[in-house]
Amino acid sequence: MTKKVNGLFLCEECDLLYRKEELAQKCEDWCREKKSCNIEITKHAVNKSELSL
Ligand SMILES: [Zn+2]
């Protein structure tokens, strides 16, 4: 399950944030299964430095 954080969606496996739940879910499924990140997915991640948390 992805977690919603400040209107964004978190991959709980790798801690990357996405604007779309679909992408966060894809990332999480991939991370869990492959134990690595998929650049085709992670390129859509939100840069944390852009966020004012
Ligand atoms: Zn991930």
Let me know: does 31 contact 2? Beta carbons within 8 Å: no
In the DSSP assignment, the letter for residue 48 is G
pLDDT at site 32: 96
CA-to-CA separations, 23 to 15, 51, 53, in angstroms, rounded: 13, 18, 21
Tell me whether residue 52 is in a domain.
no
Domain that holds residue 38: 3-47
pLDDT at site 52: 65
> Which residues of the chain are modeled with pLDDT < 70?
52-53
Number of domains in the chain: 1
Tell me whether residue 27 is in a domain.
yes
- Neighbouring residues of the ion ligand 1, judged by CB less than 5 Å: 11, 13-14, 27, 31
Let me know: does 51 contact 38? Beta carbons within 8 Å: no
How far does the centroid of ligand 1 lie from the alpha carbon of residue 7, in Å?
Answer: 17
How far does the centroid of ligand 1 lie from the alpha carbon of residue 29, in Å?
Answer: 7
